[in-house]
Every structure is written in C-alpha cells, then in structure tokens.
Structure 1
Amino acid sequence: MMHEKNLLGQRIRMLRRQQGLTLRALADGAGCSESMLSKLENGKGNPSINVLHAVSRALGTNMGSLFLPAPMPGVVMRRGDRHLAQLGPGNGQGVILEYLSPHLPGHVLQAHIHIIEPGGGTETITHEGEEAGYVLEGELALTVDGEAYHLHEGDSFFFDSSLPHSTRNPGQTTARVLWVNTPPTF
C-alpha cells in the first residue's frame, strides 16, 4: 500500500530528525545500509519485520509508532476508525494489523487483530516481551521455538516473545486473531 509506505517513511524521517540523527547514524544503529534507510524514508523500500524492529529500537521506540502519524485520541476507537497496517513481502505476506490500542512511546501494552489471508503468515522473529492471543475466526498455525501448534476458533495461546515464533493461516478462509503483547513491538 503506497500510502502506508509513505506514512512509514515520513514517521521514520521525523523521528530521526527529532533526535538529531543523520541517515548514516540511524543506519549504523539499526544495522542496515544507509541506502536502504533512504529508500524506506522515501516510501520506496519494503523492509522486513526484523529491519523495522531494528530501526524502531535504534530510534528508541516501537514499530507501531512508525505507522501512526499522531496519537490516537480518546478512550474508544469505533469499528472502521481504527488504523490498519498491511505487512509487505518478507514481513508477513497476506497479513493486516488492525490497531486496537495506540502504539506510542511510554505505552506498555499493545493489541491488534491480526487478519491473515489463507496461506498468509509472518516470518520467524524474536524480540523481548510476552504475547497472548485468541483465535476469533479461522485457523492459525503457530510455531514457537520450533514446536508447531494448530489452533482453531476459540483457541488461545501465550508465549515468551524471546522464543523464535511465526504464524501461518493453513485454512481456506481469512483468520482473525486478537493478539496482545507487552512491551509494544509492532
């Protein structure tokens, strides 16, 4: 989604400049090339989740704050008004995150609905924290620390985020999973 890429790039550039960082300094801190970071800031890159985690850590924030232009107002977010972020190739093909909570510095909890198309899923990642989820609709293949689990509607899970984990929708219909983690990382 071009809008998402432009928004992501604008947020990264704004946060980098607020902290007085050059492209080179942020690239070094994130362990990526200056060229890749420049493309990302200009809405032309398609970074993996691991790259976005590294960039957000180097900026002292979380991935969710990279996608949001401003704090989400109020206590209640109505259906249809919540921010959606589509993950790209290498991040989570066929995965859309529906934000249920603001993802800004200082927040300690993060909640999404992961909308996973049939055959879609995420690459294997690790990060700090804990995660819990509940399958609202469809099926979810969850792999944690090399162990595969097949979940159906009504099943739930919990795991330490430092363990390698990935997801996939093995079903024929779109899966919707309520996903909560702390601290915020996406």
Structure 2
Amino acid sequence: MTEAETDPGRSDPGRSDPGRSDPGRSAPLDIIAESLRRERDRAGVSLSELAKRAGVAKSTLSQLEAGSGNPSVETLWALGVALGIPFSRLVDPPAPQVRIIRSGQASVVRSEQSPFAAALLSACPAGARRDLHLLTLEPGAARHAAAHIPGAVEHVIVTAGRMRTGPEENPVEVGPGDYISFSGDVPHLYEALEPETTAVLVMEHA
C-alpha cells in the first residue's frame, strides 16, 4: 500500500546475521548478558530481586550478566517469566527497525465526492493501544528517551521544521510531511534541527 524507505542500517531478513542466534547453535553468551542487563534495567529490579523472583542463585545470574556460565533453557525461561518477557528476548533480541515514508511517497486514495484524500501510513495491530501526542521542539540539547516497555513502537509525522529522531545508534533526519516509525523499547532521541519544529507522535503499546 505504501512506498517506504528502509533504514540502511536495518539487517536484511533474508541474510544470516552472525550476531543473532539460530536453532542450530547455542545463543551467544554476550547476547544473553546484554539482554539480561537491558531487561533488568527496564524492569527496575536489582540483581538480588530478579534472582529471587526467578528462583535462580544470585551468583548464577551475576555470571550470566557478566557473559560467562552455561545457562540452561530452564534458567533462561524462569528469568524471562520473572521479567515478564518472552524467552526469545533473552536469546535473540529484535534489532531496532526503522521505517520511513517521505512526504509525497505514500499511496493515496481519493474521494469521488469531495477534494479529500487519505494515505494509510500504518495499520494498528490487533490488541494494541495507541496514544496521540503533539511535539514542539527547539534547537539545542537533544531529548534522550530511555527504552519504554517491551513491544513499544513510536510513529512520528513531522508537521513543521526538521528533526533527527529514531534509535540513538542510528537516528534519521526527517522534515515536513515525512513519517517515521521505530522501536520505542530501545534508547532513542528527538533533536530539533530548525526553530519551531512540530510533530505528531503516536505511541503504540502492545
């Protein structure tokens, strides 16, 4: 329905990525360590508290977060349940994805009865909630946002000015009429590049 630009930093799903796990080998310990630290920070629980909730020895959890040890499926599953996340987020975390539709590139459907046109930028998934915000930004320090709850997605349409936004590791410059969506459950930023920049932000929560 729409013609979209895909962020060049996004991995091609048709190609293998050595940093991601596959069924034929064990998940890399560094991925597990990074995932555990990230999810524990997001949940706001201490090492001791998470170990207690999961029924795992604190020393075992400490080793896992340090990138050592030999975690079993049962241990990782228990940690996932204690953190309220799917098992897969610990062994194969999703890469941040960015989707951009530049102004004028969306497929438009027009009315036969009035000068009215509509372009679908993003359909809301079943069971999701979307909150609407109006953003106003001025040049200066960027707004650095911490990761939101797992599965959060941010949708932004710039109405005036220019800004950089997206995952902190790979933000994108967007201008009037541009639409961008990206994972909100990773650190991200908003930075005005022109005075009186405004945008509509739709926060999607599963």
Q: Please classify the TM superposition score into its range, dividing by the shorter chain length.
A: 0.3 to 0.5
TM-score, normalised relative to structure 1? 0.39
